[in-house]
Amino acid sequence: MLINFSKMHGCGTDFMVIDAVTQKFFMSENKIKSLADRRFGVGFDHLLVVEPPYDPEMDFHYRIYNSDGTEIQMGGNGARCLAMFVTQKRLINHRDIHVSTLGGKLVLTMLNDNQVLVNMGNPVFEPAKIPFRAQNRTKTYLLQVDSSHILCGVVFTGNPHCILTVDDINTADVLGLGEKISVHERFPEKANVGFMQVINVHKIKLRVYERGIGENLSCGTGACAAVAVGIEQGVLKSPVTVISDGGELTIEWQGEGYPVMMKGSATLVYDGVIEF
């Protein structure tokens, strides 16, 4: 069986995108791993599968898988690529696109110059809903990692995120410390770990250790999480430019009760056909 797919990227995070609206196929964990291999497969950070809507009020449902085959709740960079994909493939004919994911519902708006605006929904700071083991909600938590005590912020922006503020992201122990925090016992569903360097109240640099992947060139939900935590802690003001190795995103958040808005690019690399 032959399956059409597209290779896309959003700020350097790359995706294999499959239309499961007009095509039917079965995807196993081992198959995802083999396709993700950059030498023997297509190669990608995430597999993104566009499905018919589960909810009649939505346009699509989409599922997103890490390169190790595990399914995750949501991806901000993937959401922008999805919007570009369904628009270019003419699966939809209007600019506002309503989609559901395991992590919640999103509204994606196509702008000019390959830019997409994503309503990421309201950030969740309540520990039990992230989920994060804590007795009470606070703006800063103390996390014990080995013999060290780490100050961090915790939030759900489609995925659980732990945000650390560092003096210099170039010297931050993203791989070592990021991995340990990602699987920390206080995160029962694991977490993405962001290392944020504040340049000024409207600009940060960010590196993210993603659960199931490791460090990536950028992380859309991670950018939203870092800005939400930074504004909650009083060190940032909306809008915020988030600079990662893969590019820049613009994040806006007006505070409690408002959704996080993310604007950034989505790029088609190539279209292909593969045999399943």
**Same fold: 2-120+265-275 with 127-258:** yes
- By percentage, how much of the chain surpasses pLDDT 90? 90
The single residue listed with the structure tokens 């997103």 is 64
pLDDT value at 130 more than 80? yes
Q: Which amino acid is at 206?
A: L
What superfamily would CATH give domain 2-120+265-275?
A: Diaminopimelate Epimerase; Chain A, domain 1 (3.10.310.10)
Burial (Cβ within 10 Å: 0-12, 13-18, ≥19) of residue 245: middle
CB 219 within 8 A of CB 180: no
Q: Which residues are catalytic?
A: 219
User: Domain segments of the chain: what residues?
Assistant: 2-120+265-275, 127-258
**How do residues 12-58 score in pLDDT, each as one tens digit?**
999 999 999 999 888 889 999 999 999 999 999 999 999 999 999 99
**How do residues 175-205 score in pLDDT, each as one tens digit?**
999 999 999 999 999 999 999 999 999 999 9
Strand, helix or coil for residue 148: strand
In order of 34, 40, 70, the CA distances from 29 in angstroms are 9, 16, 7
The single residue listed with the structure tokens 């939809």 is 92
Q: Which amino acid is at 45?
A: D
Give the DSSP letter of residue 129.
Answer: G
* This prediction's pTM: 0.88
Feature table: binding site: 66, 76-77, 159, 192, 210-211, 220-221
Feature table: binding site for substrate: 66, 76-77, 159, 192, 210-211, 220-221
Give alpha helix (H) positions in 73-132: 76-88
Q: What's the CATH fold of domain 127-258?
A: Diaminopimelate Epimerase; Chain A, domain 1 (3.10.310)
CA 254, 257, 261: angle at the middle one, nearest 5? 45
